[in-house]
A and B are shown apart, each in its own frame.
Chain A
C-alpha cells in the first residue's frame, strides 16, 4: 500500500518500509509523481534521477523481503543540495562554470545517507556556490516558496527547504555558511539544523568559505532532522577539521523534554528592524518554552552588531581563494578561444561566474590585498574571536539561546536582488553562530496573517546539539505549526 507522502515524516516512512507496510519503491513513485506535478512551479530540482532511485528502492525492498538487515533510513527518498558531489551524477553548485561536471567521487555526507538506506531522488537547486539569501542567484532558475509562489524560499539552500515544505522528498541536505540552512528553513516553515563546525564532514562539499561551511539536514519534524544528522555526523579522516568525538543521540534528545534547561534570550536579537509579526510569534514561543519547564534567562551578546561585517570580510576572503580553482583547465567551463594561459583563466572565469560570485571574488581579493590585509581581514579575525567569546560568556549563564531566525518572513522575488547590501543585512540573526562554530536550529513557530511561516532559532554551545534538539522537540510536541502544509499548486 502506498501512503500519502504529502506531509509525511521521514522517520515514519522509514519505519513503514522496515515493517513492510509499504515498499520503498511505492515511496519513490509517490514522490516522483509529486515532483512531476509540482516542481515546474517551484523549481526545486536541478536534476531528477528517477531510474537510479527506482533501482536503489527495488534493491532495498528485495533485502527486506529476504530478511537482510537495512540501515536506519531504509528506503526513504531524499534530495541533495547540488553542492554535495555525487559520483557519476552531474554536480554544479548552481553555477554555469561547473555545468556538465561529473564527479569521480562521493561526498562523505551523501555517501553516509546512501549507506543508511536513504535514496537520493536527485540534485537540488541553490544560490550559485551557496552565495545568497533568496535562491535568486542560481545560474539556472530561481526557486519559488511553496507558501506563496511570488516569494523567495530563502537561500542559499532554498531548494532544499522548499522541497521538504512541498513534500517533494522526505528530507534533504543543505549547507550553512552564514544562515543558508536556517534562513530558508524559517522562510519555508520546516526544520533545519547547522551543527557544530566539524561535526559533519566537508569532504566532497564544494567549498565556499572553508572555516564557515557547515553541512546539515532539513526535515519536516525535529525528529526527522535528528535522524538525518545522526547518520551524517561523526569523524571523517578525509576532512582534517572533522571532530573526533562520536555523533550524539539526537533522536532520543528530540523526545527527552526540556525540563530544567535554562534558555537564554539575547537582548540584541530583539531590536528595531524586526517585523512585528515575527517578534510576536517568537515571544509567544519563548512563553511556550517557559510553560514547558524551561527557565528564561536574559543574556547579552554585545558584539552582535559587528557580525555581518565580520562575516562578509571573512567569507569573501575565503571564497576568493576557494574559487581560484575554477580556471577552465581541470573541469567545468572553458572559454572557446584563449591565446594565452592568462587569457584562458580570466575569460573562462568572466564567462562562467554569475554576479554574486564575481562580487565576492572582487571583495575578497580587495580585503586580502597587500596594504589592506591587516585593516580588513586581520581585523575581522580579531572581531570573530570577540563574537565567539560572547557566546562562551552567554553559555556560562544558560544551556541554549532562543532567538528569531530571520527578521522578516519570505520576501518577494526581485524585491531585494538589486541591492546586495540590503540582502546581506537580512542575515543579522544567522551569521554569528557560524562565526563561533556553535550549533543552531530553525523550526516553525507561527505564521503571519497572510500565511507565511515564521522561524524560531535555538542555538547551543559547541557540540550542544542534544540540548538544541531537546528544546526544539519539546516545543514541537506542544504546538501544531509543523503540521500545517502549503497547498499543492500545480
Chain B
C-alpha cells in the first residue's frame, strides 16, 4: 500500500502555502512514497529512554544588556520589497473595508 496519496500531498501543499500543479502532485506523491519507505528504517529502533537532541552543542540561553543598537533603517528594510506603500510592505487586502486595493 502506498504510504502517501495525491490527496494528502495536496493537503500538505495547502498547509505549506505552496501551489503545486497536477503533474507536480503526481510526481511528488511517487517520490515521497519512496523516500518515506526508506525513512521508516528509523521506526524500528528502540528510543524510549533517549532524550531528543535539538542541537549538537548544548547552549545556555545567551543574554546581553537590553540596550538599543544599530539596526536597518525603514528604507533599507523596504528596499527589496516587491511592493511598498507609505513606509510599509504592501499586500492584498486582508480585512474587508472601504480603502483602495
Contacts and interface: CB of A to CB of B under 8 A. Distances in A.
Interface stretch (A171-179, A287-295, A373-381, A440-448): A373-381
Closest 8 CB pairs of A and B: A437-B56, A350-B19, A381-B52, A334-B82, A331-B80, A382-B47, A385-B53, A104-B76
Interface in A425-441: 425, 434-438
A331 B31 CA distance: 31
Contacts of A424: 35, 38
Contacts of A342: 17
**Chain B binding surface SS class:** loop
Interface in B28-71: 28, 31-32, 34-36, 38-43, 45, 47, 50-57, 59, 61-62, 64
Interface residues of B, number: 53
A346 B19 contact: yes
A222 B32 CA distance: 40
Contacts of A420: 31, 34-35
Q: Identify which of A342, A350, A435, A462 gathers the most chain B CB atoms within 10 Å of its CB.
A: A350
A344 interface: yes
Contact of B57 (A105, A329, A363, A437): A437
B77 A365 contact: no
Interface in A320-340: 320, 324, 327-334, 338-340
B35 A312 contact: yes
A365 B34 contact: no
A59 interface: no
B19 A102 contact: no
A382 B53 contact: yes
A237 interface: yes
Given A358-B24, A421-B38, A388 B9 contact: no
A379 B18 contact: no
Interface string A191-207: 00000111000000000
B80 A198 contact: no
A327 to B, nearest CB: 7
A41 interface: no
Q: Identify which of B4, B41, B42 gathers the most chain A CB atoms within 10 Å of its CB.
A: B42
Contacts of B39: 309, 312-313, 376
Interface in A348-377: 349-351, 353, 358-359, 361-363, 365-366, 369, 375-376
Interface of B: 4, 8-9, 12-21, 24, 28, 31-32, 34-36, 38-43, 45, 47, 50-57, 59, 61-62, 64, 72, 76-77, 79-83, 89, 91-94
A66 to B, nearest CB: 31
Contacts of B59: 198, 240-241
Interface size class of A (residues with CB under 8 A): 35 or more
A330 B89 contact: yes
19 contacts: A104-B77, A198-B59, A211-B56, A237-B62, A306-B41, A308-B38, A309-B42, A329-B82, A330-B77, A331-B80, A333-B82, A342-B17, A346-B14, A346-B19, A349-B16, A362-B9, A363-B36, A381-B52, A385-B50
Interface of A: 100-102, 104-105, 196-198, 211, 237, 240-241, 243, 303, 305-306, 308-310, 312-313, 320, 324, 327-334, 338-347, 349-351, 353, 358-359, 361-363, 365-366, 369, 375-376, 378-386, 388, 420-421, 424-425, 434-438, 462
B35 A329 contact: no
Nearest to B77: A104
